[in-house]
Amino acid sequence: MLQITPHHKILLAIAPIDFRKGIDSLVAVCKKYFVCDPMNGTVFVFTNRRRISVKLLVYDGNGFWLCQKRFSSGKLKWWPATQEQALHLQVSELHVILAQGIPTQIKIPKNWHEIT
């Protein structure tokens, strides 16, 4: 079972992708677009042009997981418009996006804080 925890690094593709792409094509997109090794445990998140579906690609040390969520009604209410928004996304904010919410409108505590 795939679980996304605060330990995961998340990278979102701002531009939509062709959802006919499978694992190998998305791995190539990760290498080219993110300039990142897709086998390092990072969760890569993509959406289609109409924003009615989301794909997640992650390597778990044994193989790639490719998960897709197609919304039964409606579409994404929020998707990062800038690279800055996409780079600073927390796992809890990704969960809000996948529930068709708007992470900028809710108060989510930081994943980690310094113990003094």
Q: Is residue 4 part of a domain?
A: no
Q: Is residue 72 part of a domain?
A: yes
Q: How far apart are CA 75 and CA 8, in angstroms?
A: 25
Q: Is residue 116 part of a domain?
A: no
pLDDT band at 116; cut points 50, 70, 90? confident
Phi, psi at 2, each rounded to 5°: -95, 125
Q: How far apart are CA 59 and CA 47, in angstroms?
A: 19
Q: Is residue 5 part of a domain?
A: no
pLDDT of 3 above 90: no
Judged by DSSP in three states, 10 sits in strand
Q: Is residue 3 part of a domain?
A: no
Q: How far apart are CA 9 and CA 7, in angstroms?
A: 7
- Give the tens place of pLDDT for each residue, 21-68: 999 999 999 999 889 899 999 999 999 999 999 999 999 999 999 999
Structural domain count of the chain:
1
Q: What is the DSSP string of 68-112?
A: EEE-SSS--S----SHHHHHT--HHHHHHHHTT--GGGS----S-
- Give the tens place of pLDDT for each residue, 60-114: 999 999 999 999 999 999 999 888 888 888 888 999 999 999 998 888 777 666 6
At 1 the pLDDT is 59
CA end-to-end span of the chain, whole Å? 36
Q: Is residue 40 part of a domain?
A: yes
Q: Which domain holds residue 58?
A: 10-105
